[in-house]
């Protein structure tokens, strides 16, 4: 039985969890931490996280609650919009001690998310599962906790997507190092990518009209929505607007380079012997 709640995870959260797992104590089998983000209209968006020290044995588990509260207060000073939305643990399944840890986060936030991340990659990929807890049993008598699965989606901001694309370039580089392209190079790459996608769409539409391939209603509705979103602008006005924005971009780049040169010159002059 799955919940209607949707959990959206940002890439920075995944990097934080993996980093905490790589830095864990030698004898530790897993790590746990707090998830930060926002919850609105049935969607929990996790944008940040931090690890929480804890000790675990077969019989008991001890979490450094004071450390977790202090770290949360420090994060609130940096970004007050991020609140506690749940907690994470590495591993593929919910453990026996997860109920005890979940009870602490249930006191901090209503319906906290429990995210499990398979850092061992048992099936060749980093699987993620999210749960919310539900109390089961007879009121006033013996009760228990059942973890209900929650849908998990990966989402990202534009800046995060740009960073991921740069990191992927390093995957195929023998030196494992890449440089961030300039703004103009990114504009050129984006325009080239859009042009390629437009050619694919035009080719698909031509093939449908020619009867070479059957029409797909879902694709047709998507294309209709896409065309409807494009404003009807005179070509000459659009070209003038594009040229104006390009001039603004070039001016910003020029001023940034000029400021960088001035700072380097000032630093070099300051280091000269008196």
Q: Has residue 224 got a pLDDT over 90?
A: no
Q: Has residue 2 got a pLDDT over 60?
A: no
Q: What is the pLDDT of residue 133?
A: 82
CA distance 82 to 74: 11
What's the whole-number mean pLDDT along residues 53-80?
87
* Mean pLDDT across the chain: 84
Q: What is the pLDDT of residue 1?
A: 46
Higher pLDDT, residue 145 or 37: 37
| Planar angle of CA 240, 243, 244, nearest 5 degrees | 85
State both tokens at 20.
């905490």
Higher pLDDT, residue 235 or 48: 48
CA distance 150 to 4: 7
Query: Regarding beta strands 83-90 and 128-137, do their DSSP bridges make them parallel or antiparallel, or are they unpaired?
Result: unpaired
CA 159 to chain centroid, in Å, comes to: 10
Higher pLDDT, residue 188 or 84: 84
What's the whole-number mean pLDDT along residues 97-120?
86
State both tokens at 193.
């990518």
Q: In the Cβ-directed half-sphere of 94, how many Cα atoms lie within 13 Å?
A: 19
- Decide if 49 contacts 113 (C-beta within 8 A): no
What's the whole-number mean pLDDT along residues 144-155?
84
Q: Has residue 35 got a pLDDT over 90?
A: yes
> Can you give the pTM of this predicted structure?
0.67
CA distance 274 to 63: 57
The residue whose two tokens read 């009209």 is: 209
- Decide if 7 contacts 152 (C-beta within 8 A): yes
CA distance 74 to 86: 17
State the helix-helix crossing angle for 235-270 and 183-209, rounded to 10 degrees.
Answer: 150
- Decide if 31 contacts 154 (C-beta within 8 A): no
What's the whole-number mean pLDDT along residues 208-228?
89
What's the whole-number mean pLDDT along residues 30-37?
92
φ, ψ of residue 56 in degrees (nearest 5): -135, 135
Q: What is the pLDDT of residue 144?
A: 66
Q: What is the pLDDT of residue 102?
A: 87
Q: Has residue 7 got a pLDDT over 60?
A: yes
Q: What is the pLDDT of residue 96?
A: 77
DSSP state of 241: H
């Amino acid at each position: 039985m799955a919940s209607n709640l949707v959990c959206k995870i940002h890439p920075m959260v995944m990097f934080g969890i993996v980093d905490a797992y790589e830095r864990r104590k030698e004898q530790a089998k897993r790590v746990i931490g707090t998830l930060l983000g926002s919850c609105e209209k049935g969607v929990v968006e996790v944008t940040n996280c931090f690890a929480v020290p804890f000790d675990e044995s077969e019989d008991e588990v001890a979490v450094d609650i004071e450390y977790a509260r202090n770290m949360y207060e420090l994060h609130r000073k940096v970004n007050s919009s991020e609140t506690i939305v749940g907690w994470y643990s590495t591993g593929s399944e919910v453990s026996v001690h997860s109920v005890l840890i979940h009870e602490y986060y249930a006191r901090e936030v209503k319906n906290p998310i429990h995210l499990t991340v398979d850092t061992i990659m048992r099936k060749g990929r980093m699987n993620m599962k999210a749960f919310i807890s539900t109390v089961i049993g007879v009121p006033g008598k013996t009760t228990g906790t059942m973890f209900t699965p929650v849908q998990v989606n990966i989402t990202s901001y534009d800046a995060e997507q740009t960073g991921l694309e740069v990191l992927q370039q390093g995957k195929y580089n023998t030196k494992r190092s890449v440089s961030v392209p300039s703004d103009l190079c990114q504009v050129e790459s984006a325009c080239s990518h859009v042009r390629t996608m437009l050619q694919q769409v035009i080719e698909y539409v031509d093939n449908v009209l020619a009867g070479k391939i059957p029409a797909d209603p879902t694709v047709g509705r998507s294309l209709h929505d896409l065309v409807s979103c494009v404003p009807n602008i005179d070509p000459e006005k659009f070209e003038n607007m594009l040229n104006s924005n390009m001039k603004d971009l070039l001016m910003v780049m020029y001023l940034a380079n000029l400021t960088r040169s001035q700072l380097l010159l000032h630093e070099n002059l300051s280091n000269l012997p008196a």
